[in-house]
Amino acid sequence: MTNSSVRSTTISEETTTTLPVIEFVTPLPGFPRHRSFMLVRLDDDGLLYELASVDDPELRFVVVPPAPFFPEYTPEVSEESLELLGITAAEVDQLLTLLVVTVGSTPSRTTANLLAPILIDPVRLRALQVILAGTDNPVRAPLRSAA
Amino acid sequence: MLVLTRRPGESIMVGDDVVITVLEVRGDVVRVGIAAPRSVQVHREEIYRELQAANREAASPSKAAVDSLSQLLRP
């Protein structure tokens, strides 16, 4: 797998057949015992993905890339977060950003967590949900498609 | 819960390498400094609890709900 093929949030067919396991360097808040997840694409357009727990087939999170929904969203990643992920500031561009989606009873009640995006290093297959402390990013932002 | 009395400038050690220092007390506001290794994440409790709740709420939506969201997002 080359760097250029994994930088995009679109996952190639070859990688979806043998999904790499992504390890959270710190567990997702609320799920202290689940560290290993696979990223699965749910649609052809690359809008919806799922983080599926390796250890618990019942546990999964719907996640989305921010760009199609929140084009203005540019989270600033702290040095501490980069250090936890074990990457340097020069490598920050290789990180994938994904937002955790709460799927509501109706699609219009569906929200995305802008306060705490998930960062994934697709090279080392490490992930971290960071809290953008000191920003006014909402935990529940209505998900609107630009499409 | 362990209860300690500290004055501004005094600290508390948690384990070997976490130091919590009372910096300033003004009225009902206490400013606290925390020195911890980078591997230890430090958050305001209410924000962390909100994130825990949001993650639990987001976990494992029904397949039907995800399908209907996927339909809606289809251009």
Any CB–CB contact under 8 A between A139 and chain B? yes
Most confident of A97-101, A130-134, A139-143: A97-101
- In this complex, the residue of A62, A115, A133 whose CB is nearest that of residue B61 is A62
Contact by Cβ (8 Å): A68, A145:
yes
Position A37 pLDDT exceeds 70: yes
Amino acid (one-letter) located at A18 = T
Position A4 pLDDT exceeds 50: no
- In this complex, the residue of B41, B48, B70 whose CB is nearest that of residue A48 is B70
The predicted pLDDT at position A80 comes to 85
Contact by Cβ (8 Å): A29, B52:
yes
Measured between beta carbons, the chain B residues lying within 8 angstroms of A50 are: 66
Report the greatest alpha carbon distance in chain A. Answer: 41
Any CB–CB contact under 8 A between B34 and chain A? no
How high is the ipTM of this complex?
Answer: 0.83
Measured between beta carbons, the chain A residues lying within 8 angstroms of B45 are: none
The predicted pLDDT at position A18 comes to 66
Measured between beta carbons, the chain A residues lying within 8 angstroms of B40 are: none
- Of the given ranges (A12-26, A50-64, A86-100), which has the lowest mean pLDDT? A12-26
Contact check, Cβ <8 Å, B74/A43: yes
> pTM (2 decimals)?
0.84
The predicted pLDDT at position A13 comes to 47
Contact check, Cβ <8 Å, A80/B69: no
Distance CA A100, CA B55 (A): 8
* Substitution target from A63, A81, A103 for chain B, most B beta carbons within 10 A: A103
Nearest CA to A49 out of A59, A57, A41 is that of: A41
Measured between beta carbons, the chain A residues lying within 8 angstroms of B51 are: 29-30, 113, 115-116, 129, 131, 139
Mean of per-residue pLDDT scores for chain A: 86
Any CB–CB contact under 8 A between B69 and chain A? yes
* Tens-place pLDDT, residues A77-125: 888 889 899 998 888 989 999 999 999 877 678 999 999 999 999 999 9
The predicted pLDDT at position A3 comes to 39
Tens digit of pLDDT at every position of chain B (75 positions) = 999 999 999 999 999 999 999 999 999 999 999 999 887 888 999 999 999 999 999 999 999 989 888 888 876
* Substitution target from B38, B69, B74 for chain A, most A beta carbons within 10 A: B69
Contact by Cβ (8 Å): A117, A99:
yes
Nearest CA to A66 out of A140, A117, A127, A120 is that of: A117
Position A1 pLDDT exceeds 90: no
The predicted pLDDT at position B74 comes to 77
